[in-house]
Structure 1
Amino acid sequence: MPVNQNEIQRLSESEKEKIRTLQEMKSEFHQIPDKSAVLADLHRLIDDEESEVRWDAACTLIYIFSSVPDEYKCIAWDDLIKLTHDLKPHISGKAASNLVPAFSSLPDECKSAAWDDLIRLTDDNDLYVRESAFSVLINAFSSVPDEHKPKAWADLIRFSGHEDSRFRWMAFSALDSAFACVPDECKSAAWDDLIRLTRDRFLDVRGETSTVLGSAFVFVSDKSAAWADLVRLASDKDSKVRKYAADTLIYTFDHVPDECKSDARYDLQRLTSEGDPDVRIHLNHSLGKMCIDKAYKSINEEDFRTFLKDAICYFEKAAKDSSSFTPSLCCNLFYRAFHAVIFKEAHSNNEIKDYITAAKKEIEGSKSKQKLVAVIEQLATVLEIASNTQGSNNGWRELLKRGSNICNHVDKMMV
């Protein structure tokens, strides 16, 4: 932002000279051999009593920051932090908005102290400065040196319990990606931190933690113990935690070591038949969707048919546990009709009519009836196309994908 010329006119000659000097620094910094002298002048002008001078000093520092030699970067960072405390909001805001790129260009030896500066800024009186500090913490974890990551992780865990829900959400955004960067020897303790958060006093913390566990599981070394934690959470007293734990079990199953797969499969089967009704519905529905995805990706007709039949069984179980129209019932009716049509188990036209009649009967009384009628008609169109498609695995797969996308839309519609 250029300096207002009217402002310059009312400044003293000395102040005009300072601004000219800063503008020269900004344009010629790359070519000046003695950068230490330039940075010393800039350091002095950051404390100038005139806000116009401090503004230009802030703009200059931000502009040249990435080009400052590493031996002076820590001092330059300190100057930037000092500017975030400026009494003029436009100056403190300008400094705060540039913390992310500045942190990323710091040498490793400066980052631990810089991280602590950011932690202090999260308690700043200025909301924008606080938000900017949190933004850096979210983006900066991966660039923190390994020896400092355990402390940085502990800070993120602490912020996940922040009184302000916006900052809690920001902390979880960081935790989701940060876990992969935690040193291997610390991952077990970091996993335990997440498990503890599933018992937090804040409902949103318990729920958000359950979603982070899915991405974290992949990086845990003791997956057997981690799987046991997830199975336990599927019986948690908090319905949101149970639901997310069920999702996580499905998501992480493929990452369970082969020697533990049999026990893990037993856990899933037990939860789909003996567990909490909401968990049973959620697991069976998720397993059905997973089978549909495998059917779409299958190469031969036998596998396609097997996965499709398995999906129908899961959707049927989920639908039976439900007391009203659910996405599982929608899926069960459609995929059952789809299977009958493509494998000629019934007269196609009759099967399609029966599907439409049954589906419309089930949605009577639904708040989303009008939208669901449109969905039923879209799925009926898929069935009609399928009835006219000659025995072709590729054709079936594409139609299955199309039907799956429509059913997924029902999922979102009825959340």
Structure 2
Amino acid sequence: MDTSQKTIVVVDDTPENLRLLVGILKEQDYIVRPAPSGMLALNFVRATPPDLMLLDIRMPEMDGFEVCKQLKADAQTRDIPVIFISALDEVADKVKGFSLGAVDYITKPFEAEEVLVRVKTHLTLHDLQQRLQESNARLQKEIAERRQAQEALLQSNQALEHRTQELSDTLQHLKLTQQELIQAGKMAALGQLVAGVAHEINTPIGLGVTEASFLQRKTRELFDAFSAGTLKQSGLKKYLQLALDSTTSILSNLTRSAELILSFKQVAVDQTVQEKREFNLKTYLDEVLLSLNPRYKRTQHRVSIACPDNIVLTSYPGAFMQILSNLIENSLLHGFEQIEAGHITLTVTPHDHDLILEYRDNGQGMTPEQQQKVFEPFFTTRRAQGGTGLGMHIVYNLVHQTLGGQIECHSERGRGTTFRMQIPLEPRSEKHHPYTQKEDS
């Protein structure tokens, strides 16, 4: 303990005793303030409260008992340790002194060592008591804050569990929808698509459930530690960081699940029924290109179409629109990712009873591995940016199922990509419902 920072008020109406006590204490580097009377001592203490007080009992005008009584009645001075020093050694005097709030009682004549030991002991106890009070105040504040944090986390967990249950219910609904679609025979490849959707959704939902369960267990452990009084600040900080990481992961997985559900709904459930009708292919493709112009008009990319003016089809115009839209979107997102001025061409050529549509871009091209997977559902090189990998799968099914044709891909890294489609002038007689929403591949 640094005694040079401690202030002690010594009160005694006998000058010799006062000088003796002051000398003993100053030798230990205490800051000592002598007071020859009780009234003067009260004025000292009220002006600048000391760390401890040595108080004689028998004094004129105001004795030590009265001084102590007034100190303990004042909220500003009641916590100052008071040690009585007196020639009175009767038990009744000592009992009275302690009952008034004194912490110790030294009988005259005294030894210097005894005075110093008792002074040091009570200064140390006083310091510890103050620290304990401060710690208790901080602890009460932390307890209140932790209660609030715990309640907020519990509410968050409940909300996350509710959201997870909603997504699980939606997945069950999608599985039922899958069975209905397969039985209806609307699309031969829909079974594979739905299986992929279920697998894709199960992964983030499973991760979300795992994280929610882990967070619930850690929350229960925190609550148990709090209830037992063993919770430490370091443990709370560690838990809060863990909770932040877990809720971030859960939210990310739930968001991903919602995106996949929306994609499936667009692909398999909310397909717009379109009627077969007669239309001029060149005119319709120009209209589609005009509607897509806002997608690339602020770039330096160019799209050109070469199609004879006299090709009139009785087919599904929406399918052609979706094919062209998804192919252009694929080029903009992937082919031209690091190219400022790309060029896209669509060439349409009649061939016997078929149409040959050749879509070409001068983008960065694909690797052989990417070419093999380009039409697979959920294959994408942009999953981290939110791509679902359904765009080119939609194109494949529109060409094969809706229009009854064929499509193949040719590409080299650094030399662009070509999609060649061979489509009958008369599509298959049974009615198919083409997709009506673009998907990022």
- If the length of structure 2 is used for normalisation, what is the TM-score? 0.19
Report the structure number with the largest CA radius of gyration. 2
Query: Which one scores higher on RCO, CA 8 angstroms, separation ≥ 6?
Result: 2
Higher strand share: 2
Per the normalisation by structure 1, the TM-score is: 0.20
Higher helix share: 1
